[in-house]
Structure 1
Amino acid sequence: MSSVAYDPNNVFAKILRGELPSHKLYEDADTLAIMDIMPRGEGHCLVLPKQPARNILDVEPESLAAVMRSAQKLARAVKKAFDAEGVTVHQFNESAGGQVVFHLHVHVIPRFEGVALKAPGGPMEKPEILAANAERIRAALANA
């Protein structure tokens, strides 16, 4: 278990409650997938559990399983939507592990040979580009 309590005011908790906007890609009873607003690559998206969990150290196993089912669904969709050669799936835990937002989330990033990921915490993407990329992913999900 994490030694630090879950903060219900983190940005992903606010998105899940509808207090902050997001480009939603997929939603089921247990998870929400959204575009990353500071993408490390075109089509970079995030899968969040709806259940509060700081990270993999304190998430309920059933919630983690739901997140991974959705991450697989999104990985297949982004690969198709962007005609990607591969997919990178990242998940970070605690500050020393690279975690910045302390609500469990899985990064799903379409990848291409010879194209490096942008640095983490980079500039915010233009809303119209996020919206267009989100539409491509939703279309791939609908045709899965």
Structure 2
Amino acid sequence: MSDPGGSDCVFCAIIRGEAEASVPYADDRVMVIMDIAPVTPGHLLVIPRVHAVGLEDLDEETSTHVWTLGHRMARALRRSDLRCDGVNLFLADGEVAFQEVFHFHLHVIPRFEGDSFRITANWKTRPRSLLDQESKSVRSALANLGFTTAATATNRAAPT
């Protein structure tokens, strides 16, 4: 399955063989390349051969394959001779989510104590009533997409 996008997409150029890349793995649906500007040594990108800007543009079968390969690459990193005490799988979907190359891709980042990668946020516990409202909104969107769920607003763990 291959549908390389326009000439201005660097990942499509790599897939077409028009740009250089270090490739530890490739198959008929994805290519895994070493990130040219890695967070840590061994930082991988899992790129579908079909051009899709973001997650919603990618078919579920290809998306599943991308995540399966992300899992395999994480296992390979842990068993490699690269420094890897943990792994982050990171997806940046959209400019506000820090996507820089607008061809869907999954980052597989080896982690170790003292590396420079940080994810910071204003982590606050949300009131249950707001979480229930947000859950209802997501369930409604799932229903509009044709997916059903048995979850209800009362599906929560009992306090211990």
Q: TM-score, normalised by structure 2?
A: 0.66
Residue 55 of structure 2 aligns to a residue whose secondary structure is coil
Q: Distance in 1 between matches of 2:104 and 2:84?
A: 25
Q: Distance in 2 between matches of 1:16 and 1:99?
A: 19
Q: Distance in 2 between matches of 1:18 and 1:27?
A: 12
How many residues are treated as equivalent by the alignment? 113
Written as runs of structure 1 = structure 2, the 5 A alignment for 1:125-140 is: none
| Bigger Cα Rg | 2
62-71 vs 80-89, greater mean Cα deviation: 80-89
Partner of 2:26: 27
Displacement of 1:55: 1.2
Q: Distance in 2 between matches of 1:46 and 1:97?
A: 17
Written as runs of structure 1 = structure 2, the 5 A alignment for 1:1-144 is: 8-9=6-7, 10-81=9-80, 82-117=82-117
Unaligned runs of 5+ in 1: 1-5, 119-144
Q: Distance in 2 between matches of 1:51 and 1:65?
A: 14
CA deviation map 1:70-113 (0-9, x unaligned): 11111111121125211011110111111000000011111112
Cα pair 2:83 2:111 within 8 Å, conserved: no
Moved over 4 A (4+): none
Q: TM-score, normalised by structure 1?
A: 0.73
Higher relative contact order (CA 8 A, sep 6+): 1
CA RMSD of aligned residues (A): 1.6
Partner of 1:142: none
Task: Give the share of equivalent positions with the same residue, in percent.
Answer: 35
95-104 vs 107-116, greater mean Cα deviation: 107-116
Cα pair 2:55 2:104 within 8 Å, conserved: yes
Cα pair 1:7 1:102 within 8 Å, conserved: no
